[in-house]
Chains A and B, each alone.
Chain A
Amino acid sequence: MKANQRQSRPGDAPGPGRRRVLECMVWAGTGVLWTVAGGVPRSRILGNEAEAAEGAASFSFVQISDSHLGFHGAANPDVPGTLRRAIAEVKENADQAAFMIHTGDVSHTSQPVQFDTARTIIKEAGLETHFVPGEHDVLVDAGKGYFSRFGEGKARWYSFDEKGVHFIGLDNVSALGTKGLGHLGADQLAWLKKDLAGRSASQPIVVMAHIPLWQVYPQWGWGTEEAAELLAMLRQFGSVTVLNGHIHQIIQKVEGRVTFHTARSTAFPQAAPAPDANPGPLKVPAGRLKEVLGTASVSYVAGNARLAIIDTPLGA
């Protein structure tokens, strides 16, 4: 990951207002535009014109995450505002995207008004949106408020195909494991096994879940208990991309032909894992915003045998 300052352009801003908003958006995160070319998903941060020309592939989608409507701490006093900014950015790029995914924590405390406000804002993008739940979405009444609005079908998990790519939406938050780790459960794993059975190993697979599906930092619950079992099921496929939220920062990892990636939040950042840090909302001093959270986009490029990661700084 590379920090990078986003520069405002002459004529871009009539006053400090817009520039300030853009600076905020750098750390709050906007959306990630995913492009699937030749079965290999590639990502770039929205608003990065330098790479826009590369979006001329067959099919792309946008990922947003961790809206946390209802949060009103010092780390971001205007969570609806930053979500609106993110959606505005998505809208500007909507002609490139087939749909959008939201990787959980739509709300902060599972209140109906939070879900409804988020839904209203997200609809502004004009894109069909597939959601997976975050633990903040299922705090009340087993997540009824979330699933009644954003659920797909009767189960808490689902799959669909888009232009030959198989998308899987998992729920690893309804029954948290020990130490807050994500937990899928036997029913969901059995369903997944069936869902994958008989598929061609050449079909690209995209798996979505809120909590990282690999062990990022188990001390903070940043991982999923059945990660090894899940990986074993996915290993047979030639291109697997696992998209998560939860940790409010970009972290990625490549394991064999499986690429793991977490998206930023549209609400507030969290600290990088470290023994002397804590996983709560991180208040970034205004003067250090660009320094600390100048963002990096990451691209996946097919090598001969495995995927490679290339840092792509914003506005470079």
Chain B
Amino acid sequence: MRPLSAGLLAALLATAPLAARADRQVTIDQHMFVPATVTVHPGEKVTWVNKDQDVHNVTSDDQGRSFRTPLLDAGESATLTFAAPGTFGYHCSVHPDMTGTVIVK
């Protein structure tokens, strides 16, 4: 994975309305991110919705933890905006076996 550029905007908007573009939603259920890989264009948003019984978050895989959502309890959600192109791996810091990827291109 290439280093994250400074252009990555990790805005946390817990109640962000979905814009009418190609924004994507990832469902968290049964200890999985579904779909595990989403592709968006630069500037678009990804929203993670926790439909699991357990608590999870979204934490970037890179050393600097360049994006990280708050802990999401059952029913909560968080939105990140991806400004710059790249491939961004992430995991749940509570359950690091849960992994996903956001491709921005």
Contacts and interface: CB of A to CB of B under 8 A. Distances in A.
B37 interface: no
Interface in A172-213: 176, 178-180
Contacts, number: 47
Given A73-B74, A109-B71, A109-B73, A180 B53 contact: no
B74 A179 contact: no
Nearest to B95: A180
Interface string B48-60: 0000111100000
A135 B74 CA distance: 17
Contact of B96 (A75, A108, A179, A283): A179
Interface size grouping (class) on chain A: 20 to 34
B97 A220 contact: yes
Interface residues of B, number: 15
B59 to A, nearest CB: 11
B53 A280 contact: yes
Contact of B94 (A71, A135, A219, A278): A135
A72 to B, nearest CB: 7
Interface in B76-105: 93-97
Interface of A: 71-75, 108-109, 135-136, 139-140, 176, 178-180, 219-221, 278-281, 283
9 contacts: A71-B53, A73-B74, A109-B73, A140-B71, A179-B96, A180-B94, A219-B97, A221-B96, A280-B54
Interface of B: 30-32, 52-55, 71, 73-74, 93-97
